Amino acid sequence: MHYVSTRGEAPTLGFSDAVLAGLARDGGLYLPAQWPTFSPAEIRAMRGLSYPDLAIKLLTPFLGDEIKQDVFERLVREAYGTFRHEAVCPLVQTGANTFVLELFHGPTLAFKDVAMQLLARLMDHVLAERGQRATIVGATSGDTGGAAIDAFAGRERTDIFILFPHGRVSPVQQRQMTTSDAANVHALSIEGNFDDCQGLVKDMFNDHGFRDRVQLSGVNSINWARIMAQIVYYFSSAISLGAPDRPVSFTVPTGNFGDIFAGYAAKKMGLPIDQLVIATNDNDILDRTLKSGEHRQTGVVATTSPSMDIQVSSNFERLLFEASNRDSAVVRRYMASLKQSGAFTIEAQSLASIRGEFGAGRADMAETAATIRSTLEKSGYLLDPHTATAVHVASSLPKSDVPMVVLATAHPAKFPAAVLAASGIEPALPKWLSGLMERKEKFTVLPSEIKMVEDYISRRTRVAD
Ligand SMILES: Cc1ncc(COP(=O)(O)O)c(C=O)c1O
Ligand SMILES: N[C@@H](CCOP(=O)(O)O)C(=O)O
């Protein structure tokens, strides 16, 4: 299996190099050269597999021959051994034909753990085999950072620097990033919003001198392995609802477009998905794009679902590549226009293809709060604000016989203030995190200035030791 860049001007890589590279050297994102596919009979035969066994079956074709099968199996089992629910990602029925897919049973209570626990182990393995080290730099609007720090803390071969927007993450999210005592962990509070943090990370990847000097790697969903690991729960939930003999729809709380792109990948691999619905909060660039065909960035507004406060949606580039029949020249034109004028207009054929695959909707903060309240009243289920945006969008769709699965991307206890205000209930952190809010914080505040951030990282990474 080989990996190609969406911009077509970077070397084609094997799996291990694509994982270590993060962003391609031409600024693009890696995708498998072909989608592995599974026939209905093969999907039927997956019924009854445990989550790790399903992950091994679905993900092995992406590895080529680069990771030995017994090693991969061990890494998968270790990764999902960190989850507190036996099913790893259990499905809960909340209405007649509606389900919530709980992705928050990992160490940091967010769906990011599903991919990050595996990615950290894969990276560690590849670096050890090669006798290399890496400097990992990541941007977070709250959840990726905590998940990455948990997964990489104490690992000998990596130093990890997480950039989060100053004052714009929840107190629980902040402490998950700032209370690690591992020497290889560095939390940087950036004076800006998430898009500024993600822009800094991409600028560092595009500064090839810096990139090579510190052996830069990324763990945001620009990294293919993040998307890859997220494909599995689309299969596990759809199979438990009758796939491949019954189609299933998904509504996904969306920001950087990684999670829902994993659903698109699952469909490409043969899973019968009826609708893939993008749910946004007030930062609704993707909802507007699907409606108008124009992708136009506006300012980010702070909401009660802070992890979705994003206007530069990285993985949309992967979809543009697919929708244009993998025409990297078209993608380069869109990206150049986005850089120059903050907007581009999607060509008619690509737009039709995107609209054929995806629906979209938005929920403002009042609708999100009302959904938390009404879901609790109707079904006794307490949603987090991100999941609530998707429940609101799903409930606004025309009625259908196809089961609708909403991805529950975070535990409500990560956002106690918003959940309390909406429902009157203050969700408690699980036992293993109960001392979190009392732990001592350690972080550095930096301006959103590339040179200052690069300088900070260069002085602290142990890559050159
Ligand atoms: C809780 C939560 N929900 C939804 C999202 C959006 O997911 P994606 O960025 O993959 O679209 C995020 C952040 O990415 C998140 O942390
Ligand atoms: N919502 C994310 C933003 C970064 O997304 P990623 O999936 O690209 O890592 C977060 O919580 O940090």
pLDDT tens digits, one per residue of 338-397: 999 999 999 999 999 999 999 999 999 999 999 999 999 999 999 999 999 999 999 999
Which residues share a beta bridge with 187?
A: 162
User: What separation in Å is there between the alpha carbon of 212 and the centre of ligand 1?
Assistant: 29
Res 17 pLDDT > 70: yes
ipTM given for this complex = 0.99
Report the nearest atom of ligand 1 relative to the CA of 259. Answer: 10
Whats the size of the chain, residue-wise? 465
Residue 445 exposure: Cα atoms within 13 Å on the Cβ side: 4
- Active-site positions read 112
Position 405 scores a pLDDT of: 98
User: What separation in Å is there between the alpha carbon of 209 and the centre of ligand 1?
Assistant: 31
Position 206 scores a pLDDT of: 95
Give per-residue pLDDT as tens, 68-91: 999 999 999 999 999 999 999 999
Q: Pick from 315, 299, 344, 14: which is nearest to 144 by CA?
A: 315
Residue 90 Cβ contacting ligand 1 at under 6 Å:
no
- 317's enclosing H/E stretch is helix 316-323
Q: Tokens for 232, please give them.
A: 């599995």
| CA gap 66, 125 in Å, rounded | 11
Residue from 160, 164, 221, 316 to probe ligand 2 pocket by mutation (most atoms less than 8 Å from CB): 221
Position 433 scores a pLDDT of: 93
Residue 307 Cβ contacting ligand 2 at under 6 Å:
yes
Which residues share a beta bridge with 159?
A: 135
Which residues share a beta bridge with 23?
A: 29
Q: Please report, for residues 114, 151, 236, 384, 409, the alpha-carbon distance to residue 223 in angstroms, rounded to integers and kept in the order given.
A: 14, 15, 22, 26, 19
Q: Are 363 and 408 in contact (CB under 8 A)?
A: no
Q: Tokens for 129, please give them.
A: 């085999």
Residue 409 Cβ contacting ligand 1 at under 6 Å:
yes
Tell me which ligand sits closest to the C-alpha of residue 164: 2
Q: Tokens for 360, please give them.
A: 């979209």
Res 464 pLDDT > 90: no
| CA gap 140, 314 in Å, rounded | 12
Position 463 scores a pLDDT of: 87
Give per-residue pLDDT as tens, 195-247: 999 999 999 999 999 999 999 999 999 999 999 999 999 999 999 999 999 99
Residues 6 or more apart whose CB falls under 8 angstroms from that of 234 comprise: 250, 262, 263, 266, 271, 273
What is the share, in percent, of the chain residues with pLDDT greater than 90?
99
Beta strand extents in 230-308 (DSSP E only):
248-253, 273-280, 294-296
Res 111 pLDDT > 90: yes
Residue 311 Cβ contacting ligand 2 at under 6 Å:
no
